[in-house]
């Protein structure tokens, strides 16, 4: 006996595959739009500062950050390029004037004001391939180790002595000054 194909099963299979394809295309399109917005913000956006408010570890480490535009608070989440970020840290950020929720945090531009910081010496322990410097510094008999993403135009070598700005009230927040 010959089995006949069930046309309902074939149609259901095509619909299922079509839904999977549509979902994949939707996710891809949304991600491309997000990246386009970030590139546009980086190139044409207005610069401000943001403060890291939370760290989330799901499959990757995410930071939640806050910034103000015209007196209004905006919050956003972003995957981090390194894992030594601490709540309270500040970074420069660029956002689009017409859509302040479209932004790009600049992890290679950490920020500490002269009022809230102390300058000390530190040293470079290693440089990772993504231009990430691992450095340490000693403050009040305690040694701190940090990571910092370097700007593309800046290069350091292992054992280089560097000036570090540390937060007066949170000495675990330290950044390379260059």
How far apart CA 68 and CA 29 sit, in angstroms, is: 28
The reported pLDDT for the residue numbered 46 is 86
- Is pLDDT above 90 for 155? no
Report the length, in residues, of the chain: 178
State how far Cα 43 lies from the chain centre: 17
The reported pLDDT for the residue numbered 30 is 66
157 within domain boundaries: yes
166 within domain boundaries: yes
- Is pLDDT above 60 for 5? no
How far apart CA 145 and CA 158 sit, in angstroms, is: 14
9 within domain boundaries: no
The reported pLDDT for the residue numbered 7 is 58
| Residue 37 and residue 101 in contact, taking contact as beta carbons nearer than 8 Å | no
| Residue 167 and residue 137 in contact, taking contact as beta carbons nearer than 8 Å | no
Specify the pTM.
0.75
Residue 103, token pair as written in the block: 């932004």
Last residue of a domain, one of 66, 83, 111: 111
How far apart CA 120 and CA 18 sit, in angstroms, is: 60
| 102 shares a domain with 47 | yes
36 within domain boundaries: no
The helix (run of H) or strand (run of E) holding residue 44 is helix 7-44
| 74 shares a domain with 123 | no
| 97 shares a domain with 58 | yes
For the chain, the domain total comes to 2
Q: What range does the domain containing 172 cover?
A: 117-176
95 within domain boundaries: yes
Place of tokens 């531009």: 109
C-alpha count within 13 angstroms, C-beta hemisphere, residue 166: 21
Residue 22, token pair as written in the block: 């549509």
Last residue of a domain, one of 66, 81, 111: 111
pLDDT, tens digit, 9 for 90 and up, residues 30-89: 667 656 667 766 678 889 999 999 988 776 788 999 999 999 999 998 888 777 888 999
Residue 1 CB contacts under 8 Å (≥ 6 apart), including other chains = none
Last residue of a domain, one of 75, 94, 111: 111
The DSSP symbol for 140 reads T
Residue 95 binned pLDDT confidence (cut-offs 50, 70, 90) = very high
How far apart CA 80 and CA 61 sit, in angstroms, is: 6
């Amino acid at each position: 006996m010959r089995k006949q194909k069930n046309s309902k099963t074939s149609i259901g299979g095509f619909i299922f595959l079509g839904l999977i394809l549509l979902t994949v295309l939707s996710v891809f399109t949304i991600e491309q739009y997000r990246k386009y917005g970030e590139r546009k913000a980086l190139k044409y956006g207005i610069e401000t500062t943001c403060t890291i408010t939370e760290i989330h570890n799901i499959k990757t480490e995410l930071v939640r950050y806050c910034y103000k535009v015209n007196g209004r608070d905006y919050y956003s989440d972003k995957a981090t390029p390194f894992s030594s970020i601490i709540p309270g840290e500040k970074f420069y950020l660029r956002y689009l004037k017409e859509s302040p929720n479209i932004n790009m945090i600049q992890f290679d531009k950490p920020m500490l004001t002269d009022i809230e910081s102390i300058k000390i010496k530190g040293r470079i322990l290693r440089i990772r391939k993504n231009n990430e410097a691992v450095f340490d510094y000693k403050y009040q008999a305690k040694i701190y180790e940090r990571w910092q993403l370097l700007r593309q135009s800046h290069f350091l070598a292992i054992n280089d002595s560097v000036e570090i700005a540390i937060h007066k009230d949170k000495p675990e927040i330290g950044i390379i000054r260059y």
